[in-house]
């Protein structure tokens, strides 16, 4: 009798917990002792709800504004909330992970990465930054390029109305930094994707086939690497119109040789490994051996290089913008905002300082992640 | 029996890693007399190398020699010695040679420099003096034209020659104990035979105590006077080489001996030890060998068998209940056939 | 009890086994690796890895290839499987010259001849589960349709003494011996007739080594396999081989029946090699034939008999240091390459 009621209570309690977990994302993880995951999910959901609550007007205006970035922000908001809930619900209801499943090297690497606090901090920073960029229209009530009453709004210091002050045209610096992040981050992202893809393919082919193919490809890589990158950039951009597109293409096309070299080196040693020999003995075709057996094993160093490369590209892009060779004003990018504030550094320090800080934080975040990944993916750590 | 040169008592070396405590060496005791060769035999991962490194206190964190372990050289307690004192012991009173002759020598120094270094550190020998002695050592280990070869770099030596150079380096300061950790495992059999002969000859000549570690029963049988068999971080059997290889008492030694293929005869089928060694993070309860043992009964699963302190000893409950020694490996082999 | 793989293997065997004679025959096999130096890769010399090797392997037998490291065993094995192309000489598999195979022919050949490697760590792709490795092989060769693949995988794992659940695990979750079993399962997936086992037990502990050796013997019986068993360990050879070829510096110096070789080795090198193997039964009291010096470098082999600089034979003379002794047939089916026999 006693026991039965105890069990019933248990079930009721379980039911209540379940309902609670279903409504509060992260609770399921917290109940299972996964504190960091639970708190992150909870924080994420709360942040999204806060955005929704504080800028409800602007969220609502998405339907009337008819602008793409509003829709993107809307999708981001909804998507993030849905994801937080989904992950949380799966932890509550989903089948517990079966032990028979093997733990892949990626899973082990993720566990290692998670142990590294600063790297996880970097990851949080990066995720926050990307979210903020995507949600930009909801986070600020100003338009990045709108010039109002210059006399009244010029060079206002940071305040609650203008978190980072205003610039010489009276534009809100916070808004411009937020929108500028889009340019910087997406240039970095696309350029790195191009260079990683190209570099991996060229490096893998070069390393795997060796001989004449290798010699030709690697001499070409040597040539590209020995050419001063900045000179190349400036020349190419001077020939064409300076635009986001040119910058992305030029950066993407000048960065791949470094990746190709890393990949080739790895492939050279992997090619001698017996599992590759076994694949050949089993009669598998070369493309299959390269892309299914070799490339997954070089992804570790490539991911590390790509992450560190992202930080690097953001710096280069800021430099180019500063020189007026990248995105043209009034479109904001971190580099040209700094450039814009340069003349008034003494009177209005905030115009150049905040985008500068944004660059520092971003680059540091990418480097922290890169270092963390390097340690986590280091094959020597594994038995 | 003369007073022991080296005495190791209840040596426990644990690695405190993030995944748990690795009990690599867990209560090992032995003694070594002057002029004696002690063979340590066991499969990989049973703690042989860690035990040797512990004697020289070369264990880095997260590894730690646990309190209560005692290592004494003559009358000195090495576990209590300072790092400075240990430095004067290493390479001087106790030397060690390793398995990999390729990586144990520094590729950027000549062989002569590397041998002389030990002399200059421990004996404060002058350069010319050290060089003379280095040449003498090379001659002792059977390297022809020693004066000339002193100025060569490790990569100019073949594997066997490098191992000889390592031995010369280890013996340069006349150590009273030489620890050889699988010194021939990376070498070909013909070279291995030469190195074994060399070690036996040098030991006789110099009268040092030799600890010879190997996973190969044949080598141990050939070189050792006394043998300890290690399994899962513990000594499971000890005795003279003749006793141990003639009449092994512990089921593990017995199984190992039967599983070793012999050049001397063709066996119809090799006897196997089922399963594999457990993880050092989770040794089985009771006797650590019981999951693989053909004799195991309930007592083996629950109680840890002791290792008696005598010269000839076996860490096994069969010692107390010899009547249970029936069937065993033969029965297992029969069962496997069907 | 006879599973799908057994039946299929035997059916194929009877279909293919039309030709008679040895399954594998190699003649005058030579492989030189150029030593390149400088920026332009000028050839500065050649490593004589394999220097004129001839032998044949009969169906169902185990030929052991023994010798010290660097004598060209692995290279020979790879040449046999056409993973390397020989500088000279030919490999004949089941009556057909392997060099004459086109792409399809080579693919068919790869299904009939397989390899097992030494290194239980390097021979498996760390990023693929055991199941996906086997599945890939079965699918690429069209051995399994989607529906039957899973069953065949568990049969394969069962045949090598692993559990069907192990298919979803990654290589790093296994011990050395288990990984070696996975390597064997991978080789068996294509149902080969001929398997080159390149030091399959050299990296294993004694107790595990015995398990894997027994497994290899069992599989040979069950699937009527022919083995080229490469090893440096003579004590293993005696347990597993039918015939033995002893190599020294890229050449076969003695080739004969296993038991005969162990009872009365002919070539001075074989004698020395055999006497150097430690044996726990013999203990300290045994006669060893001491060899002076070390193996010459295959980049710079001595003229004449490759073994003459170390040869302890009392009758060693001029001929030995000038003329390369050919591998001669002696009575009793033995072959040896020595002027003094
Ligand atoms: N630095 C280390 N950290 C953690 N575990 C270690 C370390 N070094 C050795 N071990 C563990 O200690 C055990 C004994 O190792 P070792 O003495 O090298 O074995 P052996 O020499 O008998 O082959 C092994 O299981 C190994 O994993
Ligand atoms: N790909 C290669 N390039 C150059 N030299 C090689 C290559 N493979 C093997 N060798 C050389 O050929 C000789 C024989 O090697 P191998 O067949 O691996 O010997 P084993 O397997 O008997 O130890 C060795 O001297 C080795 O250095
Ligand atoms: Mg060791
Ligand atoms: Mg080899």
What confidence category does residue C42 fall into, taking pLDDT thresholds of 50, 70 and 90? confident
CA distance B297 to A32: 40
pTM, two decimal places = 0.84
pLDDT at residue C283 in the model: 58
Cα torsion angle, C168, C169, C174, C179, sign: positive
Interval C71-80: pLDDT, tens? 999 999 999 9
What confidence category does residue C254 fall into, taking pLDDT thresholds of 50, 70 and 90? very high
For residue A152, pLDDT over 80 is answered with no
Q: Is residue B119 part of a domain?
A: yes
Q: Is residue B256 part of a domain?
A: yes
DSSP code string of A325-362 = -SSPTTS--HHHHHHHHGGGTTT-HHHHHHHHHHHHHH
Verify whether ligand 1 is closer than 6 Å to residue B44 (CB atom). Answer: yes
Beta strands in B99-208 (DSSP E): 177-181
Q: Under 8 Å CB-to-CB from A89, ≥6 apart: which residues?
A: A21, A22, A28
For residue C260, pLDDT over 70 is answered with yes
Q: Under 8 Å CB-to-CB from A262, ≥6 apart: which residues?
A: A199, A203, A298, A301, A302, A305
Which of B182, B170, B235 has the alpha carbon at shortest distance from B206? B170
For residue A5, pLDDT over 70 is answered with no
Q: Is residue B29 part of a domain?
A: no
For residue A4, pLDDT over 50 is answered with no
Could you tell which of C66, C70, C202, C231 is best to mutate to test the pocket of ligand 2, judged by most ligand atoms within 8 Å of the CB? C70
pLDDT at residue A380 in the model: 53
CA distance A287 to A252: 24
Contact of B34 with B93, CB cutoff 8 Å: no
Please report, for residues B8, B83, C294, C306, C327, the alpha-carbon distance to residue C317 in angstroms, rounded to integers and kept in the order given.
55, 59, 20, 14, 18
pLDDT at residue A88 in the model: 79
Q: Is residue B129 part of a domain?
A: yes
Query: Which chains reach chain B with 3 or more Cβ–Cβ distances below 8 angstroms?
Result: C
Contact of B297 with B229, CB cutoff 8 Å: no
Query: Going by CA atoms, what residue is nearest to atom 14 of ligand 1?
Result: B47
Bridge partners (DSSP) listed for residue B26: B12
CA distance A173 to A167: 6
Interchain CB distance below 8 Å, C294 and B193? no
High-pLDDT (> 90) share of chain B, %: 34
Residues of C in contact with B218 (CB under 8 A): 235, 277-280, 282
Q: Residue range B148-159: average pLDDT?
A: 86
DSSP secondary-structure letter at C88?
E
pLDDT at residue C1 in the model: 42
Q: Longest C-alpha distance within chain C, in Å?
A: 69
Question: Could you say which of B133, B149, B173 is where a domain stops?
Answer: B173
pLDDT mean across residues, chain B: 88
Question: Could you say which of B139, B173, B207 is where a domain stops?
Answer: B173
Q: What is the ipTM of this complex?
A: 0.85
CA distance C265 to C336: 10
Q: Which helix (H) or strand (E) holds A268?
A: helix A244-271
Interchain CB distance below 8 Å, C207 and B259? yes
Q: Which helix (H) or strand (E) holds B113?
A: helix B111-122
CA distance B139 to B129: 16
Which of A73, A256, A84, A83 has the alpha carbon at shortest distance from A182? A73
Interchain CB distance below 8 Å, B265 and C238? yes
> Which span out of A44-48, A178-182, A368-372, B6-10 was modeled with the highest average pLDDT?
B6-10
pLDDT at residue A40 in the model: 85
Interval A311-338: pLDDT, tens? 888 888 888 888 877 777 788 888 888 8
Could you say which of B215, B263, B271 has the minimum Cβ distance to residue C210? B271
Which residue range is the domain that position B109 belongs to?
103-173
Q: Is C173 on the interface with B (CB under 8 A)?
A: no
Could you tell which of C30, C35, C75, C296 is best to mutate to test the pocket of ligand 2, judged by most ligand atoms within 8 Å of the CB? C75
pLDDT mean across residues, chain A: 81
Contact of C181 with C212, CB cutoff 8 Å: yes
DSSP secondary-structure letter at A294?
I
Could you say which of C209, C236, C280 has the minimum Cβ distance to residue B257? C280
As to burial, measured by CB atoms within 10 angstroms (0-12 exposed, 13-18 middle, 19+ buried), residue B60 is exposed
- Coil, strand or helix: which one is C20? coil
CA distance C158 to C150: 12
Could you tell which of B20, B24, B281 is best to mutate to test the pocket of ligand 1, judged by most ligand atoms within 8 Å of the CB? B24
Distance from CA of B81 to the nearest CA of C (A): 36
Could you tell which of B17, B22, B96, B100 is best to mutate to test the pocket of ligand 1, judged by most ligand atoms within 8 Å of the CB? B22
Cα torsion angle, A318, A320, A322, A326, sign: negative
Ligand 2 atom closest to the Cα of residue C250 is 14
Q: Is B47 on the interface with C (CB under 8 A)?
A: no
Contact of B31 with B8, CB cutoff 8 Å: yes
For residue C51, pLDDT over 60 is answered with yes
* Mode of pairing for the β-strands spanning C96-97 and C42-57: unpaired
Contact of B5 with B177, CB cutoff 8 Å: yes
CA distance B212 to B189: 17
CA distance B17 to C287: 48
* Cis amide prior to C147 (ω within 30 degrees): no
Interval B230-284: pLDDT, tens? 999 999 999 999 999 999 999 999 999 988 888 888 877 888 888 888 888 889 9
How far does the centroid of ligand 2 lie from the alpha carbon of residue A171, in Å?
71
CA distance C80 to B196: 36
- The residue among C210, C267, C291 with the most chain B CBs within 10 A of its CB, best to mutate, is C210
Could you say which of B190, B192, B261 has the minimum Cβ distance to residue C235? B261
Domain count of the fold of chain B? 2
For residue A286, pLDDT over 50 is answered with yes
DSSP code string of B224-257 = -SEEEEEETTEEEEEEEHHHHHHS--SHHHHHHH
Q: Where are the alpha helices (DSSP H) in chain C?
A: 4-16, 73-80, 103-112, 130-140, 146-159, 176-188, 206-223, 234-240, 258-263, 268-276, 318-322
Q: Residue range C141-150: average pLDDT?
A: 82
Verify whether ligand 2 is closer than 6 Å to residue C249 (CB atom). Answer: no
As to burial, measured by CB atoms within 10 angstroms (0-12 exposed, 13-18 middle, 19+ buried), residue A95 is exposed
Interchain CB distance below 8 Å, A383 and C172? yes
Interchain CB distance below 8 Å, B193 and C288? yes
Interval A160-219: pLDDT, tens? 777 787 877 778 888 888 888 888 888 888 889 999 999 999 999 999 998 888 889 999
Ligand number nearest CA of C67 is 2
Q: Residue range C227-248: average pLDDT?
A: 94
Number of other CB atoms surrounding residue A326 within 10 Å: 28
- What's the residue count for chain C? 341
For residue C11, pLDDT over 80 is answered with no
Distance from CA of C172 to the nearest CA of B (A): 14
For residue C129, pLDDT over 70 is answered with yes
Question: Could you say which of B154, B173, B192 is where a domain stops?
Answer: B173
Q: Is residue B271 part of a domain?
A: yes
DSSP secondary-structure letter at C300?
S
Residues of A in contact with C126 (CB under 8 A): 105, 297, 379, 382
Verify whether ligand 1 is closer than 6 Å to residue B307 (CB atom). Answer: no
Cα torsion angle, A271, A272, A278, A280, sign: positive
High-pLDDT (> 90) share of chain C, %: 57
Domains and CATH numbers, chain C: 22-127+192-241 (3.40.50.300)
For residue C18, pLDDT over 60 is answered with no
Interval C81-93: pLDDT, tens? 999 999 999 999 9
Interchain CB distance below 8 Å, C288 and B260? no
Interval C155-206: pLDDT, tens? 999 989 898 888 888 888 888 889 999 999 999 999 999 999 999 998 888 8
Interval A120-147: pLDDT, tens? 998 988 888 888 888 888 888 777 777 7
As to burial, measured by CB atoms within 10 angstroms (0-12 exposed, 13-18 middle, 19+ buried), residue C39 is exposed
Q: Is residue B113 part of a domain?
A: yes
Verify whether ligand 2 is closer than 6 Å to residue C86 (CB atom). Answer: no
Q: Is residue B144 part of a domain?
A: yes
CA distance B234 to A288: 48
pLDDT at residue A1 in the model: 40
pLDDT mean across residues, chain C: 88
How far does the centroid of ligand 1 lie from the alpha carbon of residue B217, in Å?
20
Distance from CA of B45 to the nearest CA of C (A): 10
Interchain CB distance below 8 Å, A275 and C114? no
Interval B171-222: pLDDT, tens? 888 899 999 999 888 888 888 888 888 888 888 888 899 999 999 999 999 8
Q: Is residue B273 part of a domain?
A: yes
Query: Going by CA atoms, what residue is nearest to atom 18 of ligand 1?
Result: B49
pLDDT at residue A267 in the model: 92
pLDDT at residue A3 in the model: 44
pLDDT at residue B327 in the model: 80
For residue C63, pLDDT over 90 is answered with yes
High-pLDDT (> 70) share of chain C, %: 92
DSSP code string of A108-165 = HHHHHHHH-HHHHHHHHHHHHHHHHHHTHHHH-SS-SS----HHHHTTPPS-SSSTT-
Place of tokens 């790869």: C110
Give the lowest-confidence range in A26-30, A99-103, A338-342. Answer: A99-103
What confidence category does residue C282 fall into, taking pLDDT thresholds of 50, 70 and 90? low
Verify whether ligand 2 is closer than 6 Å to residue C226 (CB atom). Answer: no
pLDDT at residue A379 in the model: 58
């Amino acid at each position: 009798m006693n026991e039965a009621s105890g069990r019933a209570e248990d079930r009721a309690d379980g039911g209540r917990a379940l309902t609670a977990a279903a409504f509060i994302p992260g609770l399921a993880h917290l109940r299972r002792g996964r504190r960091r995951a639970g708190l992150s999910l909870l924080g994420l959901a709360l942040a999204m709800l806060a955005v929704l609550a504080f800028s409800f007007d602007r969220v609502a205006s998405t339907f009337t504004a008819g602008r793409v970035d509003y829709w993107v922000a809307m999708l981001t908001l909804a998507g993030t909330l849905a994801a937080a809930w989904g992950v949380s619900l799966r932890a509550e209801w989903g089948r517990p992970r079966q032990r028979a499943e093997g733990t892949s090297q990626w899973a082990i690497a993720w566990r290692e990465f998670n142990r590294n606090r600063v790297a996880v901090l970097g990851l949080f920073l990066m995720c926050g930054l990307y979210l903020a960029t995507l949600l930009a229209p909801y986070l600020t009530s100003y338009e990045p390029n709108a010039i109002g009453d210059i006399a009244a709004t010029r060079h206002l210091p940071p305040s609650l109305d203008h978190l980072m002050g205003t610039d010489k045209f009276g534009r809100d610096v916070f808004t411009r930094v937020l929108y500028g992040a889009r340019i910087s981050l997406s240039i970095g992202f696309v350029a790195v994707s191009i260079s990683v893809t190209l570099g991996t393919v060229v490096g893998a082919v070069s390393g795997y086939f060796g001989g004449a193919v290798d010699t030709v490809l690697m001499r070409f890589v040597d040539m590209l690497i020995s050419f001063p990158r900045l000179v190349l950039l400036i020349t190419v951009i001077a020939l064409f119109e300076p635009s986001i597109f040119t910058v992305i293409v030029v950066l993407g096309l000048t960065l791949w040789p470094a990746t190709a070299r890393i990949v080739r080196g790895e492939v050279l040693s992997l090619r001698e490994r017996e599992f590759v020999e076994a694949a050949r003995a089993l009669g598998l075709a070369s493309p299959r051996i390269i892309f299914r057996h070799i490339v997954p094993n070089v992804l570790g160093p490539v991911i590390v290089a790509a992450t560190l490369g992202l930080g690097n590209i953001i710096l280069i892009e800021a430099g180019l913008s500063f020189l007026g060779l990248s995105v043209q004003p009034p479109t904001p990018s971190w580099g040209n905002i700094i450039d814009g504030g340069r003349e008034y550094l003494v009177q209005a320090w905030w115009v150049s300082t905040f985008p500068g800080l944004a660059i520092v934080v971003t680059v540091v975040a990418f480097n922290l992640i890169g270092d963390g990944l390097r340690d986590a993916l280091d094959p020597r750590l594994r038995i | 029996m003369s007073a022991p040169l080296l005495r190791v008592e209840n040596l426990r070396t644990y690695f405190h890693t993030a995944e748990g405590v690795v009990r690599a060496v867990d209560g090992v005791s032995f003694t070594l007399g002057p002029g004696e060769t002690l063979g340590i035999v066991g499969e990989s991962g049973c703690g042989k190398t860690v035990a040797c490194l512990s004697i020289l206190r070369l264990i880095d964190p997260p590894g730690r020699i646990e309190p209560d372990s005692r290592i004494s050289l003559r009358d000195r307690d090495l576990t209590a010695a300072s790092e400075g004192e240990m430095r004067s012991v290493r390479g001087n009173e106790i030397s060690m040679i390793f398995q990999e002759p390729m990586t144990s020598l520094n590729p950027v120094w000549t062989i002569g420099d590397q041998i002389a270094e030990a002399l200059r550190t421990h004996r404060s020998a002058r350069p010319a003096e050290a060089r003379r002695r280095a040449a003498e050592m090379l001659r002792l280990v059977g390297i022809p034209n020693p004066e000339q070869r002193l100025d060569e770099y490790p990569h100019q030596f073949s594997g066997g020659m490098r191992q000889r150079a390592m031995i010369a380096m280890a013996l340069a300061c006349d150590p009273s104990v030489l620890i050889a950790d699988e010194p021939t495992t990376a070498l070909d059999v013909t070279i291995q035979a030469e190195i074994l002969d060399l070690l036996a000859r040098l030991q006789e000549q110099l009268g040092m105590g030799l600890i010879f570690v190997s996973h190969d029963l044949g080598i141990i049988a050939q070189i050792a006077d006394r043998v300890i068999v290690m399994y899962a971080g513990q000594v499971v059997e000890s005795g003279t080489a003749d006793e141990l290889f003639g009449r092994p008492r512990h089921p593990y030694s017995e199984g190992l001996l039967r599983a070793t293929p012999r050049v001397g005869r063709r066996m119809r089928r090799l006897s196997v030890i089922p399963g594999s060694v457990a993880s050092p993070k989770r040794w089985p309860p009771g006797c650590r060998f019981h999951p693989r043992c053909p004799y195991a009964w309930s007592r083996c699963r629950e109680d840890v068998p002791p290792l008696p302190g005598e010269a000839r000893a076996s860490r096994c409950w069969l010692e107390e209940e010899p009547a249970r020694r029936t069937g065993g490996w033969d029965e297992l082999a029969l069962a496997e056939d069907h | 009890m006879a599973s799908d793989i057994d039946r299929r293997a035997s059916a194929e065997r009877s279909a293919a086994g039309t030709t008679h004679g040895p399954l594998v025959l190699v003649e005058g096999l030579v492989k030189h690796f150029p030593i390149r130096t400088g920026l332009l890769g000028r050839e500065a010399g050649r490593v004589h890895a394999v220097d004129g090797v001839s032998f044949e392997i009969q169906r169902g037998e185990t030929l052991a290839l023994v010798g010290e490291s660097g004598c060209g065993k692995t290279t020979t094995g790879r040449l046999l499987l056409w993973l390397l192309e020989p500088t000279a000489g030919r490999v004949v598999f089941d009556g057909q010259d392997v060099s004459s195979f086109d792409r399809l022919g080579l693919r068919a050949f790869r299904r009939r001849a397989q390899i097992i490697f030494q290194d239980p760590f390097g021979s498996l792709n760390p990023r693929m589960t055991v199941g996906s490795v086997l599945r890939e092989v079965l699918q690429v060769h069209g051995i399994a349709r989607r529906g039957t693949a899973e069953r065949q995988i568990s049969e394969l794992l069962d045949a090598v003494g692993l559990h069907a659940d192990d298919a979803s695990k990654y290589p790093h979750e296994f011990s050395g011996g288990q990984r070696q079993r996975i390597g064997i399962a991978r080789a068996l997936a294509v149902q080969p007739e001929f398997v080159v086992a390149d030091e399959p037990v050299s990296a294993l502990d004694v107790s595990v080594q015995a398990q894997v050796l027994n497994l290899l013997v069992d599989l040979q019986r069950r699937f009527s396999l022919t083995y080229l068993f490469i090893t440096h360990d003579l004590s293993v050879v005696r347990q597993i081989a039918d015939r033995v070829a002893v190599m020294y510096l890229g050449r076969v110096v003695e080739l004969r029946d296993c038991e005969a070789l162990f009872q009365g080795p002919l070539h001075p090198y074989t004698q020395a090699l055999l006497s150097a193997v430690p044996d726990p039964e013999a203990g300290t009291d045994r006669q060893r034939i001491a060899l002076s010096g070390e193996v010459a470098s295959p980049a710079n082999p001595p003229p004449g008999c490759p073994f003459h600089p170390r040869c302890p034979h009392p009758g060693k003379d001029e001929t030995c240091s000038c003329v390369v002794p050919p591998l001669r047939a002696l009575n009793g089916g033995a072959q040896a390459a020595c002027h003094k026999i």
